[in-house]
Chains A and B, each alone.
Chain A
Amino acid sequence: MRLKNKVCVITGSSSGIGEAIARGYAQEGARVVVTYLTKKEEAIKVGKQIGSDLILQLDVRDRANIKHVYQKIADHFGHVDVLVNNAGVNRTADFDKQTDEEWDEVIDVDLTGVFKSCQEILPHIKDHGRIINIGSLSGEYGGPRTPSYAAAKMAVMTLTHNLARFLGPRNICVNCLSPGVIAGEFTEKTMSADVKKTALSLMLLKRFARHQEMVGAAIYLASEESSYTTAQTISVNGGAWVR
Chain B
Amino acid sequence: MNLKNKIAIVTGSSRGFGAKIANSLNNYGAKTVITYLEEDKDEKLNAELLAKKIGSDLVVALDVTKRHSVKNLMKITNEFYGGIDILVNNAGINIVGDFDKITDEDWQAVLDVDLKGVFICSQEVLPYINDNGRIVNIGSVSGEYGGPRTPSYACAKSGVMALTHCLARFIGHKNVTVNCVSPGPIDSDMLNKTMSKELREFIDSQVLLKRLGTAEEVSETVCFLASKGAGFITGQTIGVNGGLWV
Among B24-32, B166-174, B200-208, B219-227, the stretch that binds chain A is B166-174
Flag whether A160 is at the interface (Cβ < 8 A).
Answer: yes
Chain B 95-126: CB-based contact to A (< 8 A → 1; otherwise 0): 00011101010011001000110011011001
Q: Which 10 A-B pairs have the closest CB atoms?
A: A142-B165, A161-B146, A143-B166, A154-B162, A151-B159, A155-B155, A158-B158, A95-B170, A166-B99, A155-B159
Flag whether A112 is at the interface (Cβ < 8 A).
Answer: yes
B119–A151 touching, CB < 8 Å:
yes
- The answer to whether A107 and B154 touch (CB under 8 A), given A154-B162, A161-B146, is no
Flag whether B183 is at the interface (Cβ < 8 A).
Answer: no
Q: Which residues of A contact B171 (CB under 8 A)?
A: 95
User: What CA separation (Å) do A160 and B218 show in the bound complex?
Assistant: 28
Flag whether B64 is at the interface (Cβ < 8 A).
Answer: no
A155–B107 touching, CB < 8 Å:
no
Interface of B: prevailing SS: helix
A94–B159 touching, CB < 8 Å:
no
Flag whether A221 is at the interface (Cβ < 8 A).
Answer: no
B158–A157 touching, CB < 8 Å:
yes
Q: Which of B151, B156, B167 contacts A95 (CB 8 A)?
A: B167
Enumerate 22 A-B pairs (CB-CB under 8 Å) in ascending A order. A95-B170, A96-B126, A96-B170, A111-B111, A112-B111, A115-B151, A115-B155, A142-B235, A143-B162, A143-B169, A143-B170, A144-B166, A144-B170, A147-B162, A148-B119, A155-B159, A157-B146, A158-B159, A162-B147, A162-B150, A165-B147, A166-B147
Residues of A in contact (CB 8 Å), total 44
User: What CA separation (Å) do A151 and B167 show in the bound complex?
Assistant: 11
B104–A95 touching, CB < 8 Å:
no
Q: Which residues of B contact A142 (CB under 8 A)?
A: 161-166, 168-169, 235
Flag whether B160 is at the interface (Cβ < 8 A).
Answer: yes
The minimal Cβ–Cβ distance linking A60 to chain B, given in whole angstroms, is: 13
B-contacting residues, A122-161, CB 8 Å: 122, 139, 141-144, 146-148, 150-161
B116–A103 touching, CB < 8 Å:
yes
User: What CA separation (Å) do A150 and B148 show in the bound complex?
Assistant: 22
A-contacting residues, B116-153, CB 8 Å: 116, 119-120, 122-123, 126, 143, 145-148, 150-152
**A144's closest neighbor in chain B, by CB?**
B169
Flag whether A63 is at the interface (Cβ < 8 A).
Answer: yes
Flag whether B211 is at the interface (Cβ < 8 A).
Answer: no
The minimal Cβ–Cβ distance linking A66 to chain B, given in whole angstroms, is: 11
B162–A153 touching, CB < 8 Å:
yes
B122–A166 touching, CB < 8 Å:
no
A111–B165 touching, CB < 8 Å:
no
Flag whether B67 is at the interface (Cβ < 8 A).
Answer: yes
Q: How large is the interface on B (under 10, 10 to 19, 20 to 34, 35 or more residues)?
A: 35 or more
B146–A151 touching, CB < 8 Å:
no
Q: Which of B102, B111, B123 contacts A107 (CB 8 A)?
A: B111
- The answer to whether A147 and B155 touch (CB under 8 A), given A112-B107, A142-B162, A165-B147, is no
**A122's closest neighbor in chain B, by CB?**
B100
Flag whether A119 is at the interface (Cβ < 8 A).
Answer: yes
B163–A151 touching, CB < 8 Å:
yes
A243–B165 touching, CB < 8 Å:
yes
B154–A161 touching, CB < 8 Å:
yes
Flag whether A43 is at the interface (Cβ < 8 A).
Answer: no
A166–B100 touching, CB < 8 Å:
yes
A115–B107 touching, CB < 8 Å:
yes
User: What CA separation (Å) do A57 and B169 show in the bound complex?
Assistant: 38
Starting from the known contacts A95-B171, A150-B163, 5 additional A-B residue pairs (CB-CB under 8 Å) come to A96-B170, A139-B162, A142-B166, A157-B146, A162-B148
Flag whether A100 is at the interface (Cβ < 8 A).
Answer: yes
- The answer to whether A162 and B154 touch (CB under 8 A), given A95-B170, A142-B165, is yes
B155–A143 touching, CB < 8 Å:
no
Q: Which residues of A contact B99 (CB under 8 A)?
A: 118-119, 162-163, 166-167
Flag whether A231 is at the interface (Cβ < 8 A).
Answer: yes
**B108's closest neighbor in chain A, by CB?**
A112
User: What CA separation (Å) do A139 and B160 show in the bound complex?
Assistant: 11
Chain B 46-76: CB-based contact to A (< 8 A → 1; otherwise 0): 0000000000000000000001000000000
